Amino acid sequence: MRKILFNKKELSSDQIKSMRDFDLVLKKVKAQRDYWSSPWFYGTVGLASILSFLMFI
């Protein structure tokens, strides 16, 4: 069930600014790019494709 809140105390702009962490964002972006371009990823996908093909023939 949805929670309905009236007059909830909002965080200040300074509190929100203190939560910013652009370095963490860059790390996550790098980790994602490394994953998609890793030999492990292509190796797993390639092996799965070959096995699927062999199962059909």
Partner 1 sequence: MSSTSLYHQSDTRIQTELQIIEKSKINPQHFAPLYDQYYESIFRYVIKRINDSDLACDITSNVFVKAITNLSKYEFRGLPFSSWLFRIAKSEVYQSFRDQKAKRTVSIDKVTIVQVFEELEVDALDEHKEKLKIALRRINENDLALIEMRYFEKRSYREIGEILSVTENNAKVKTFRALQKLKVLFKE
Cα–Cα distance measured from residue 28 to residue 36, given in angstroms and rounded to the nearest whole number: 13
Site string for partner 1, 17-56 (x = CB under 8 A): x-xxxx-xxx-xx--xx-----------------------
Contact 7, 1 (CB under 8 A): no
Between the CA of residue 47 and those of 25, 44, 54, what are the distances in Å?
Answer: 32, 5, 11
Which of the stretches 15-23, 39-47, 48-56 binds partner 1 when contact is defined by CB under 8 A?
15-23
Contacts with partner 1, residue ranges (CB under 8 A): 1-8, 10-11, 13, 16-17, 19-22, 24-26, 28-29, 32-33
